[in-house]
Amino acid sequence: MKKRMILLTFPGILALLLFVVFPMVQIIIPTLSGQGSFGSLYLNFLKDTYNQRIILRTLWISLLTTIIVLIIGVPLSLWIARMHHRIKKILILVILFPMLTNQIVLNFAWIILLGKNGIINHVLLSIHLISRPLSLLYNNTSIVIGSVYLFIPIMVVSLLGSLSHLNIEVEEAATVLGAHPSTTFFKIILPQISTDILTGVIWVFSWTMTSYTTPQLLGGNDDLVMSTLIYQQAMTVQNWTLASVISIVLIIISVGCILIIRSLIKLLDRRVAHA
């Protein structure tokens, strides 16, 4: 039986080695064998204040996007899960629309909406809420807006399964016993979906950290993040070694942040359960 299991997993392990591990080794080796001391390329990159600002900007955008998606996605998922199954199917299709549409098309739609001559500024000017167009495009704000819209479906999909199977009678019993809705949510609903929340948070954070299309189209050339910096170094400057260094740093930071988020959510889950 064990031999059969090993044989069944062998193609997957082989594919993992060929398409993940081997390319990673090819990327890492040139960054360690370059001129200077061992790891000097990484130290030089991290010491540069310009690169530090890009790293902090990437982390800030990813964290802010994840928080906003979490705040919107959890109530939205709970609301959809309680709807009639026919309406639920329609709502799920609407929510999944960004995932069914090319990211470039979605980002160009946001350019039309957020531009100084765009729809949002036109409406605000027409109702005299502003006296001149707002700068909503080609900055961190536009990146966050585009990322939130793009990744809300991921959070909703990760939560809908568990929310659909929650026993509503337990919530009704808590309400009858005098529990406040917020108490019911934090002490009954939240502990049961904490694992799915963790999954959604990790997906949203990691995809935002490594996203390229949205920061490139909505952020412009002034507000670079690590993914757009990698592209700039590789395709414009033709410095593939530095692009590899940035890629490895991005991977390490992403994994480290995911482990921290995982620990924080588990700690919060334990506190909620014992509150």
pLDDT of 207-249, one tens digit each? Answer: 999 999 999 999 877 788 999 999 999 888 889 888 999 999 9
Q: How many residues are there in the chain? A: 275
Interatomic CA distance for residues 156 and 76, integer angstroms: 7
Structural domain for 132, as ranges: 45-274
Instruction: Please report, to the nearest 10 degrees, the dihedral formed by the alpha carbons of residues 6, 7, 8, 13 taken in order.
Output: 70
Mean pLDDT for 22-49 is: 81
Count of Cβ atoms closer than 10 Å to residue 50 Cβ: 9
Interatomic CA distance for residues 206 and 202, integer angstroms: 6
Calculate the average pLDDT of the chain. 85
| Residue 67: CATH number of its domain | 1.10.3720.10
Whether the pLDDT of residue 274 is over 60: the answer is no
Question: Does 36 map to a domain?
Answer: no
Q: How many domains does the structure of the chain reveal? A: 1
Mean pLDDT for 65-74 is: 93
Question: Does 10 map to a domain?
Answer: no
Whether the pLDDT of residue 271 is over 60: the answer is no
Mean pLDDT for 72-84 is: 88
Question: Does 27 map to a domain?
Answer: no
Tokens (6 digits) for 116:
């100084």
Q: Are 206 and 258 in contact (CB under 8 A)?
A: yes
Instruction: Please report, to the nearest 10 degrees, the dihedral formed by the alpha carbons of residues 157, 158, 161, 164 taken in order.
Output: -80
Instruction: Please report, to the nearest 10 degrees, the dihedral formed by the alpha carbons of residues 113, 119, 120, 121 taken in order.
Output: 120
Interatomic CA distance for residues 98 and 151, integer angstroms: 8
Whether the pLDDT of residue 272 is over 70: the answer is no
Q: Of the candidates 92, 96, 63, 65, which has an alpha carbon nearest to the alpha carbon of residue 79?
A: 92
Question: Does 16 map to a domain?
Answer: no
pLDDT above 70 as % of the chain:
94
Helices (H), 132-239: 140-164, 168-176, 181-184, 190-210, 213-219, 226-231
Tokens (6 digits) for 172:
């009704």
Question: Does 25 map to a domain?
Answer: no
- Give residue 215's pLDDT: 93
Higher pLDDT, 117 or 62: 62
- Give residue 221's pLDDT: 77
Main-chain phi, psi angles of 19, to 5 degrees: -105, -5
Q: Of the candidates 273, 261, 266, 76, which has an alpha carbon nearest to the alpha carbon of residue 189?
A: 273
Question: Does 30 map to a domain?
Answer: no
Question: Does 19 map to a domain?
Answer: no
Question: Does 15 map to a domain?
Answer: no
Whether the pLDDT of residue 184 is over 60: the answer is yes
